[in-house]
Structure 1
Amino acid sequence: MKPLAFRMRPTKIEDIIGQQHLVGKDKIIGRMVQAKHLSSMILYGPPGIGKTSIATAIAGSTSIAFRKLNAVINNKKDMEIVAQEAKMSGQVILILDEVHRLDKGKQDFLLPYLENGMIILIGATTANPYHAINPAIRSRTQIFELEPLTPELIKQAMERALQDEHHGLGSYNVSVDDQAMDHFAHGCGGDVRSALNALELAVLSTKNALELAVLSTKESSDGTIHISLATAEECLQKKSFAHDKDGDAHYDVLSAFQKSIRGSDANAALHYLARLIEAGDLESIARRLLVIAYEDIGLASPQAGPRVLHAVQTAERIGFPEARIPLANAVIELCLSPKSNSAVLAVEAAIADIRAGKIGDVPKHLKDAHYKGAEELDRGIGYKYPHDYDNGWVEQQYLPDPLKNKQYYKPKQTGKFESALKQVYDKLMKQKK
């Protein structure tokens, strides 16, 4: 028997749970189906939220024949069969899983059929199409992002499965505790497929246990299958946490992680740290924390960098689960440290000038004079050695002539260290003038 999640896939658009921003009344996909005028599209979002189910329901809501293929498993010959059917019938809907994995040969074959509308492509992918899908395919499709399912929507899907006698579990007399239902809905991490299959396992395993108990005790049973929290926890062992290190969601979490630290929100930063810890992604955590220490804390608290490095090295040495402890220390310190991006802005401004061609020649008195004949070329002539002067400083030009008055560094006063730097810097700037 096929899994419950497969059996409960919607066959028409009205049966889709969630995604009302796309399939609801007067929404884009709903209007397409109502007008009986589909265009090629790509549906993307995290696993288990119904991309293929929606694609099937969209196709099933029309009178157009549809076929399902997988960009990884199926080859060009399979697509040629679909194309031949399209030629005979006039039009075919092609539901294509893992559409971002299309190789060049398959893409080149599909393009003319997408162009003339003989094949309506409904692609499904967990990867951001703007990063992962060939522009030629992307330009011929509409891109729709699916939203993660809320626990309430997942409960709705489970209730429907419990009542459906034909495809679901409606032929069983099932009683599910509220706590068990909550565990399925919240513990699946937004993956309705995982929740439904865990529910089915709970029902079938409990049914089998009841039958064995009746046989061994020779006592009758009313046939009620009771699903407790303990049973739900056994059947859904752990939250289904999807984290693809090369996927779009990975970079979204890292972005939110850094922005939460930059914004001094320790609670949000710890939340995103926990997500990265659960994914076991120590490498990304370490790299991002070191970047943050110098990009966002910077000169406002320069000791943060070495301390973060020490925490990262400790985490790498002891490994998970204990690695979470030095990492949490580092995250909290970075969140509550003063912030300065003055060094980043300074070097970016300098790089921008270089890329814009604002370079100029190195002043002659700064050029290398450690070779015979340098003096004849005026190399190093007139250079003033700062250590020969009081306070180790003397006025002279260091920047090339076109940039001699340029000031890249603009100090901030968000920490004691940079405030002190600012005093020295401002004094030097005044002396130069």
Structure 2
Amino acid sequence: MHQEPLAYRMRPTALDEVVGQDAIIGPSTALYKMIQHGHVPSMLLYGPPGTGKTSLAYAIAGSSNLPFYALNATRAGKKDVETIVDEARLQGKVILFLDEIHRFNKLQQDTLLPHVENGSIILIGATTENPFHDVNPAIRSRCGEIKQLSRLETKDTVTLLKRALTDKSKGLGKQEIQITEEQIESIAIAASGDARKALTLLESVVSASDEENGVLLIEDSLLTQLMKRIGVFGDKNGSHFYNLLSALQKSVRGSDVNAAMFYLAHLLESGDLIAVNRRLLVMAYEDIGMANPDVGQRVLAAVQSAERLGMPEARIPLANAVVEMALSEKSNSAYKAIDQAMRSIEEGSIADIPNHLKDTHYAGAAALGHGGYQYPHDTPIGTFGGWNAQSYLPDKLVKSTFYTPVLAGEEVKKAKIYEKLQTFRKQAEK
């Protein structure tokens, strides 16, 4: 009989068997206590591949003792959903785990959602996409919990691997395996927080190892080969996907095009093209900004091309975008300005809008004292267009400065205009 993969066999059957994700489902969390007390809410589980979304759903089902059904939204049809609805009617209440929930179509929703709303079906949806961007609002509104799972820490992955090595019923415990602590940690680090990759690599290594006197001997050379073959990677510090994103951005910001290309290659190997594209767009405006404002549009074009092409061709426009950003002039002035303004508001710098800036497009505005706005276009100033000396900030904030130009690239011209206008403003105040 065909044996299921190790990663499948090692799925937890109860909450106390879940490794990692303590902030979401640890014993001290509200969700853990709710489930232990018999209440399972509908929820969305969001996170990268291998973080345990499916495993957590199975563990919740095991701890609740409710009938459990699993569907994949990319393959399930209306009939599959109707079958679950019929089971809910017969059994009173069931848990439905719906993988790839962001692909759930309207016909499926119309069949299922009333039963989720009345509580006969507890929906646990899983997605690698941001649920606030990609999951239908009708589904989202019926899920009381939205939980973002993170990649496992190296120590958690080590725990999972050791459990698989010693478990005699579901794992590899029936076979004597000679594997060192260093080799186990290497597998954990290489998996970059992906539990499925870690268990798959372990199973591959064990399957390929030679036996001597009834003991399987794990060789470093074999382990290295298999790590390369299945495309897992990492460093001695266990950096995972989000560390790679951070390293890419900091390398571009530091104008090191070689380092940036290295980290881009790592990220593209991970397969999460959407997250890479989002980060590149952020970088175009956060790190290049006003110094080279055209970069934003060119990076957007590269990202859209990558999404249309898919891998491996997507690497080409993205490489172009990364090289251009790494070697571009850079400014974070706009990014810092908005953060400074938001910080000012958070610290209580709220004041009334000057009357001449308030809306006057209604009867009675003048009676409230609104009006007196001077239209800048009516007072041309050189080749700039139009400007006048009226105040725009609230009176108590009139001396506030949030924007400080960076003298780089295209922003040099903007900086000169800014300084000139500041001079005019100071003269008008005298």
Range of TM-score over shorter length: 0.5 to 0.7
Q: Deviations for 1:231-250, whole angstroms, at most 9, x for unmatched residues? A: 222222165479xxxxxx99
Mapped to 1, the partners of 2:358 and 2:259 lie a distance apart of 40
Pick closer, same or farther for the CA change 1:92–1:319 going to 2, 3 Å: closer
Alignment partners' CA distance in 2, 1:355 and 1:276:
49
Q: Which amino acid aligns with 1:223?
A: G
Indicate conservation of the 8 Å contact 2:257/2:326, yes or no: no
* Equivalent residue number for residue 7 of structure 1: 9
Looking at structure 1, the residues matched to 120 and 241 of structure 2 have their Cα atoms a distance apart, in angstroms, of: 36
TM-score by length of 2: 0.68
Task: Report which of the two structures shows the higher radius of gyration computed on alpha carbons.
Answer: 1
| Correspondence list, 1:262-301, <5 A | 266=254, 274-280=262-268, 290-292=284-286, 295=289, 298=290
> What is the 5 A alignment of 1:155-166?
155-166=158-169
Alignment correspondent of 1:236 = 227
Contact persistence 2:190–2:233 (CA under 8 A): no
Contact 1:177 1:229 in 2 (8 A): no
Please name the residue that 1:405 is paired with.
390
Q: Partners in 2 of 1:360 and 1:252 — Cα distance?
A: 51
Return the match for 1:190 from 173, 189, 193: 193
The CA distance in 1 between the partners of 2:84 and 2:195, in whole Å, is 30
The runs of 5 or more residues in structure 2 that have no matched partner are 235-239, 299-314, 342-356, 362-370, 394-400
Q: Which residue of 1 aligns with 2:301?
A: none
Name the counterpart of 1:380: none
Distance 1:268 1:175, change over 3 A: farther
Task: Name the residue aligned to 2:90.
Answer: 88
Write out per-residue CA displacement over residues 243-296 of structure 1, whole angstroms, 9 at most, x where no aligned residue: xxxxxx9999879966x58xx97499998875434234797787666545652x
Of all paired residues, the percent bearing the same amino acid is 31
| In 2, Cα distance between equivalents of 1:157 and 1:343 | 42
- Closer/same/farther in 2, CA of residues 256 and 101 from structure 1, 3 Å limit: farther
1:107-146 CA deviation, whole Å, 9 max, x = no partner? 1211110111110111111112111111221111121122
SS of aligned partner of 1:42: strand
For residues 155 and 202 of structure 1, do their structure 2 counterparts lie closer, same or farther at Cα, with a shift above 3 Å needed?
same
d(CA) in 1 for partners of 2:262, 2:126: 29
Q: 1:64 maps to which residue?
A: 66
Matches within 5 A, 1:195-206: 195-206=198-209
Aligned partner letter, 1:45: G
> 1:225 — aligned with what?
216
1:202-217 to 2 correspondences below 5 Å: 202-207=205-210, 210=211
Report the equivalent of 2:134: 132
Contact 2:405 2:415 in 1 (8 A): yes
Give the alignment's Cα RMSD to 1 decimal: 4.8
Q: Secondary structure at the match of 1:161?
A: helix
Q: 1:185 to 1:132 in 2, by over 3 A?
A: same
Alignment counterpart, residue 45 of structure 1, candidates 47, 53, 69: 47
Alpha-carbon distance in 2 for matches of 1:250, 1:427: 48
Q: How does 1:316-331 map to 2 (within 5 A)?
A: 330=327
Q: Deviations over 1:357-408 (max 9, x none)?
A: 9997786797xxxxxxxxxxxxxxxxx9x6xxxxx99xxx934xxx663689
Deviation at 1:229?
2.3
- In structure 2, what is the equivalent of residue 103 of structure 1? 105
Instruction: Please say if residues 165 and 171 of structure 1, whose CA atoms lie closer than 8 Å, have aligned partners that are also in contact.
Output: yes
Counterpart of 2:209, as a letter, is: T
TM-score (norm 1): 0.68
* Contact 2:47–2:150 under 8 Å retained in 1: yes
Structure 1: runs of 5+ lacking an equivalent: 211-220, 243-248, 311-317, 367-383, 387-391
Measure how far apart 1:93 and its partner are.
0.8
How far apart, CA to CA, are the structure 2 residues paired with 1:342 and 1:66?
48
SS for the counterpart of 1:61 is: helix
- Cα distance 1:356–1:128, how it changes in 2: closer, same or farther (>3 A)? farther
Equivalent-residue separation in structure 2 for 1:164 and 1:269 (angstroms): 47
User: Is residue 341 of structure 1 aligned with residue 334 of structure 2?
Assistant: yes
Name the residue aligned to 2:115: 113
2:37 corresponds to which of 35, 38, 52 = 35
Q: Does 2:182 correspond to 1:179? A: yes
**8 Å contact kept, 2:190–2:227:** yes
CA distance in 1, matches of 2:279, 2:141: 35
Tell whether the 8 Å contact from 1:398 to 1:404 is kept in structure 2 after alignment: no
- Secondary structure of 2:89's counterpart equals helix
AA of the residue aligned to 1:405: Q
